[in-house]
Amino acid sequence: MLYADLHVHSMYSDGTMTIEEILEEADKQQVGLLAVSDHDMLDGARALQKLAKENEKYKNIKCIPSVEINALDGERNVHILGFYVDLQNKEFDSFDVRCQTVLYIQKRYFY
């Protein structure tokens, strides 16, 4: 039986594992569908796609490009998962920076 894990964080945001470690663990746990959904950045998702594509060992793991976007609902931080995001979209990179700035401001003033 294959499993899915669609909400993994890497060292690119608040996770502790490298992309290679995530893929190794996914392979060991028979995960067939994987998404690295780091907070407000696509670096982890890009690295996942690249490493999975370059390494024959991970050919049985389908990797979905994804992100977790932090947003404010009043003073409450909410998280929105986005799947099949365009990893080449440069506009998203600048949106990403704005999300990180909002999160920084929120943490500074609301906590």
Q: For 64-98, how does the pLDDT look when each residue is reduced to its tens digit (9 = 90+)?
A: 999 998 877 887 878 899 999 999 988 877 776 66
Report pLDDT digits (tens) over 26-52: 999 999 999 999 988 899 999 999 999
Here the tokens at position 98 are 């704005």
Domains of the chain listed by start with CATH number? 3-110 (3.20.20.140)
pTM above 0.85, yes or no: no
Distance CA 39, CA 99 (A): 9
